[in-house]
Homo-oligomer: A and B are copies of this chain.
């Protein structure tokens, strides 16, 4: 109250009318004389009156605020999603409360708790790598609380999800490598418990099988940490022995791909002549690498927009209709750049 906002009561007192009259006048309710309405509106304007959103929230049990829970803000893909969320939220008069979990389950649970006691109208979630138990979400879902999961979606019945077609994105990427005549393609995979990791791996294996290439489990390596350094070290190891080394890498994300490229180039191998590399996500840096990194782009902004729109639909729906479980799958796009193009047309 430092800001000394005027309230309806202030206006009522000043004009010698009741608070309800002021309230009605301000909202153009029928049955208020033109004169009163005019007086009220003028004074409100003069006092720079703004309705107190907290009081409204309490009264209406609706806050026009939604919560977003994500693993990390400093992550190109997630920041893009947030941006999409924010746009739709702003356009619809919603506020966005942001919580990052730092991929930490405990913090995720705590965020859900505090955000809920703030009476938010709904929740957008991409859960942490540590999350294998979903009971902290289940509790809410059982109460019909509006939640949309995006990108990383849980293995639960009856949820509303927005994700991308990780499977076919990966499939296209690996098919492209095969088309470029790479024979021994390794896969830097994401954490096992994420569905997106599994889907990408599936796309990888399917493309190989289809081309009649046998799956070699030794060529698939799970990356738990997710840093460039991690895959750099892994690849130094994989590529140092020239008799057994792969001739291509399909990485589950661009940071992993960048680590691979660094390792390969340090070993004196040429990209894409000796080794082809394709990443996933189209981070901002990918186009600026040398050679530019081929990758599978995900429509982060659209994921954010669509998730927020679905959430608003759920919030506004009286009951069941918008709560029918569904998973919307947005399309990925293979972006072919220098790191995987060795065949001239």
Using CB atoms and an 8 Å cutoff, list the residues of chain A in contact with chain B. Answer: 1-4, 50-55, 57-58, 61, 63, 65, 72-76, 79-80, 82-83, 86, 90, 93, 95-100, 107, 111, 113-119, 140, 143-146, 228, 258, 262, 283-286, 288-290
Contacts and interface: CB of A to CB of B under 8 A. Distances in A.
A97 B97 contact: yes
A79 B74 contact: yes
Contact of A100 (B51, B83, B95, B289): B83
16 contacts: A1-B61, A2-B144, A3-B140, A3-B145, A50-B117, A54-B57, A54-B58, A54-B63, A65-B97, A73-B86, A86-B100, A96-B98, A283-B284, A285-B285, A285-B288, A288-B289
Nearest to A113: B50
Contact of A290 (B76, B83, B107, B290): B290
User: How many protomers of this protein does the assembly include?
Assistant: 2
B90 A83 contact: no
A83 B73 contact: yes
A56 to B, nearest CB: 9
A96 B95 contact: no
A57 B56 CA distance: 12
* Interface-centre pick from A4, A258, A290 (highest chain B CB count, 10 A): A290
Given A73-B83, A262-B288, 10 more contacts: A3-B116, A3-B143, A53-B118, A53-B119, A54-B58, A65-B118, A90-B107, A95-B114, A96-B99, A288-B289
Given A100-B83, A118-B95, A144-B2, A55 B58 contact: yes
Given A53-B117, A54-B118, A143 B2 contact: yes
Nearest to A94: B114
Given A52-B117, A97-B97, A83 B72 contact: yes
A53 B145 CA distance: 17
Contacts of A262: 288
